[in-house]
Every structure is written in C-alpha cells, then in structure tokens.
Amino acid sequence: MSATRVPQVRAGYSPGPVRLWRTGAALAAVLLPAAACATITGGAGEPEDITVLVDPADAAEAAVDEWTGAAGDFEDHPHRPEGVELSVAHPAFAGAAERFSTDLAAQVDRDVQDFRGASRDPVSLDIDWEVVAAGDDVLGVRLIRTETDLHGTRQAYGTYWYDARSGLTRYATELVRDQTALEELNGLVAADLADDPAVGGEVLYPVLATYDSMGFNSDGDLVVEFDDGHLSPPREGHPPDPEPGRITAVLESEEVAPLLSDLGERARTASLAEEPDLDMPEPSVEDEERPDVPGEITAGNGVDCAAEDAKCIALTFDDGPAETTPHLLDTLAEEDVPATFFLNGNPALTSPNVVRRAYAEGHEVANHNDLHEHLPEYEADRLTAEMAVVSAIVRRNTGYTVDLFRPPFGASSPEVLAEIGDQGMAEVLWSSDSEDWKEIDRDEIVEQVLKQAEPGGVVLLHDTLPATLAAVPEIVERLREDGYEFATVSETLVDPEIGESYPDGENVPEIDG
C-alpha cells in the first residue's frame, strides 16, 4: 500500500466549461454530437491515478455524448444564491445505459444543490467527468468538482458505477461486499495514512461520503481518494484546511480482493479493458431490489416503538457539534444509547469529523438551522437559505439526507413549518425540557428529565453544556430502571411525516436558550 498527496489543483488540469444533463426543463441544455466509434484508452498513469478510458477531450472520438448546463438549469432548488457561476457536465450514454445517465444527472443536481447550500459566499462550481471503466457489464464514471467560495478553491471527487446486469447505478462503497468489508477497508486506509501529517486523527469513518470515490489503477490496485480537506485535522472556528489537496491510499489488489463484491471484481476487470466496451446489455434481472449500501448507516437500535407495550424515549441534543460532543459520544457508546443531534451551521461546518462520527455510530443527525436565531422574524428568502445550510453540510459529509428540523428556541410559525416541509423535513420540538439551558446543575437536570419522562417522549438537552454531559449517565441509568428503552426521534415518533410538527407544536413553549 502507499499513501500519496498531490497539490490542491492538479498539475495541468483546467476544468472545461461546466456542463450538465437533467430531465424536464433542463433538457434545453446542450447536447454535443458524437462522432464515429473509436478505441480510447488512458495511459498507464501513476499508481495513485484511477484509470481514465474516456474524458471530455476524447468524447467525440469515442462516441460518447455530453450533456452540459449552467445556473439556469437548476431553478427548482430551494436556495439559489445570486451570482454563482455553474458549469457542469457528465457523459450521456445511449441504449440500455441511458438510465445511468439519468442517475448521473440526479447526482449532479444534488452536488449543485449542496454546494449552493453548504458554501459560505459561493462563487463558482465546475463539474467535469471521466469514464474510468467500460466492459464486463460495468460502466464507471468519475465526477470532479472544482468549487470556489469564501474559503478558497478546492476539488472533490465521486465515482459512480453502472451495473448492467441489474440495471442499477451503484455507489463507490458497493465495490466492497458489505458494511463489515467497508469497516475492514477503513482500517487498512487508516493504517496506510497513519504517518501522514496532513491527515488528522479521528477523521476516517466508514460512511458513504468518506468513501464516495474509489476505483482501480492500471495495475488493478484499489485507489481510494479523498476530497481536498476531507481528512485535514480540525481547526477550531475554521473549516478543515483544503491545502493538502487530494489524498489517496493505494491498496494492492491481492490485499483488497477478499473485500470486493461481485460488482467490485467486475469493475476491476472493466477498468483494465484494452478496448473499452460502452455498449451495455439490457438488464438480465428486472426490478431487482436495491441491496443495502455499505456506508449508509441506519440510526438507532431497531427498537419497535409502535408496539403496544413499547416504552421508548428519545434523548436529543441541540446546538452542536461542540468541543464537548466527542466526550458525550464516548458516554453514549458505553451505554449503547442512540440519540438525535440537532446541528447548527458553523459548528457542523468547522467540525465535520464529529458529524461523521455521530452518524457512523448510529445516531440520528438533524437540522437546527444555520444561525441560532428566531425564524419567525426571517423574510421568506432568508428563511429558505438558513434552513438549507445544515442539510447540505450533513449530506456532503455523510451521504445522509436530513429529514428532521428543530427551530431554535422552539420558535415556529405556519410559514416556518411550511418551509420545513418544502425542504423535505418534519418539525420536531420536545415533550420534556431539561432546562439545562438555564445553567442549572447536574442534579437539577437529572430531576427535570425524570419528572417529565413519558413513553414516546422527546427530551430537550444541549451537548454544548458540561453539566448536561455530567447528567447523562444518571439519566440513562434511572430511565432504564424505570423500564424505558432509548431510541432516536424517528423511532420514538414512528416515522414522522414531512411537513408535520411533533410532538405537539401548540403546547411547546419557547425557550431562551
């Protein structure tokens, strides 16, 4: 194995005009015509390079169409900052692989939406592409994002795989067998990068967004690549530093072979094709159910809170992640208690490693708005923008799409609730207020929680407060003695519906903290 690092912007790389294919109104985007078929193969490359069989410069010769688009092709996003330049693209395959193009379009759409939402003062986003595998009923496409905002310019990467046998588009993590194999891979990568000074401790977690770009080099080794800054050590009050650039771990083929799925084995063969075959057959298995995706974590312990005798309760923590959150996560792990974390924008932006850890350890992550302010006072445009931030940050760092929102102070309104629903979330308030925000001591917090506890209850706490962390072990012990089972909010409320308010929005008082 070998770990390598290249400068933030690849030598000799200059993204072309940004292009995209989308359905519906966006079909006005430009389709570049393909020329006659030709054999296109990449050079041997360096060990840290994923194979490139076709890129935009070779698209016409290889008979690969390209769809392109700009800012006007994404008018349906909830948050559209003014003046942001978008130039995005992906290949458009013909025949049976056309469905792959549709899925790539959806991925690009998410990338644009999340860039708009998560970036501070966004300036521009370019997305370019490469075909990295073609053959053995597999197509592989690598998307390269170059984005500029208040914090500078950085690049990010994603590889996506079309399995013609099932007709499914697969994530990079599906190159390995299952979650256990991804965890083993995570251990190999962690060992490989252990001595790299550009890699922070406690930043690698086996989740979808960390392992969203993997492919094979010309020797058949597995190349795992990480976005600029994804593995950088945390910096208090600042996003992780993108300056180290693209970091890779190259894992020898013999070492990773036992971890590969059937798709992974075929993708490796397709990456080494001397004559790439872009002509995919029709699926041999119709309507195949999507298998579990390694790196997609199901929050909670699987408690059935809908059962007649269930006595579930959800611990929720607002305003983080904070310096104290890792200690809380240690406690929750020791007690085997899942919780729900309602995150604010700046803490999530500057401590993404903690967000990834909470998600990886089976906790539910949710949105508590960008800035901790009274939402009913916001104008409509600002309300939309403020709600979009945390959801975008979480998805970019975990791969998970947030579906719960808690307004700061519990301050809501019909307009706030409508916007929450428009952004695909349910509003979650609380049935039990610990009053820890009043800066009461540990014992008072414990008693406040216990006297208000009820089956199906949602407890309001704050992981930013040392007294709260000190109270958690006793809260857990005494509620368990009382027969309660701990669950996430979604488990406790039994799948809250988008656009609805829980537990009872009319009877939850606003708080000052």
- Across 447-483, b (16+ Cβ under 10 Å) vs e yields bbbeebbeebbbbbbbbbbebbbbbbbbbbeebeeee
pLDDT in single tens digits along all 513 residues of the chain: 443 333 333 222 233 332 233 333 333 343 433 333 334 444 467 999 999 999 999 988 888 999 999 999 999 999 999 999 999 999 999 999 999 999 999 999 999 999 999 999 999 999 999 999 999 999 999 999 999 999 999 999 999 999 999 999 999 999 999 999 999 999 999 999 999 999 999 999 999 999 999 999 999 999 999 999 999 999 988 999 999 999 999 999 999 999 999 999 999 999 999 888 999 999 987 666 788 999 999 999 999 999 999 999 999 999 999 999 999 999 999 999 999 999 999 999 999 999 999 999 999 999 999 999 999 999 999 999 999 999 999 999 999 999 999 999 999 999 999 999 999 999 999 999 999 999 999 999 999 999 999 999 999 999 999 999 999 999 999 999 999 999 999 999 999 999 999 986 544 556 666
504 is catalytic: no
CATH fold for domain 312-507 = TIM Barrel (3.20.20)
Tokens of 256: 């990773």
CB atoms within 10 A of CB 446: 21
- The token duo for 228 is 């600029």
What is the per-residue pLDDT for 512? 60
SS (H, E, C) 189-237: HHHHCCCCCCCCCCCCCCCCCCCCCEEECCCCCEEEEECCCCCCCCECC
Peptide bond into 376 cis (omega under 30): no
* H helix runs in 1-136, sequence order: 98-118
Beta bridge partners of 193: none
**Catalytic residue from among 55, 109, 318, 403:** 318
Cα 413 to Cα 377: distance, rounded to the nearest angstrom: 10
Number of helices (H) and strands (E) in the chain: give both, helices first: 12, 20
pLDDT at position 61, please? 87
d(CA 486, CA 476): 8
Whether 210 contacts 356, CB under 8 Å: yes
Domains of the chain: which residue ranges? 2-271, 312-507
Give the distance, in angstroms, between the CA of residue 5 and the centroid of all CA atoms in the same chain.
23
Question: Would you call the peptide bond into 503 cis, given omega within 30 degrees of 0 as the criterion?
Answer: yes
Q: How far apart are CA 506 and CA 155, in angstroms?
A: 46
Kindly state the tokens that stand for 9: 């912007």
Cα–Cα distances in angstroms (integers) from residue 464 to residues 127, 314, 332, 461, 491, in the given order: 37, 18, 15, 9, 24
Task: Write the DSSP string, 293-336.
Answer: PTT-PPPS----TTSTT--EEEEEEEEE--TTHHHHHHHHHHHT
Active site residue 149: no
The answer to whether 386 and 370 have CB atoms below 8 angstroms apart is yes
DSSP 53-84: SB-GGGTTTTT-EEEEEEGGGGTTSS---TT-
SS3 of 146, please? Answer: strand
Q: Do 366 and 402 meet the contact criterion of CB atoms below 8 Å apart?
A: yes
Chain mean position to CA 172 = 13
Q: Please list the residues that pair with 158 across neighbouring strands.
A: 143
CA distance 272 to 292: 27
Distance in angstroms between the alpha carbons of the first and the last residue of the chain:
50
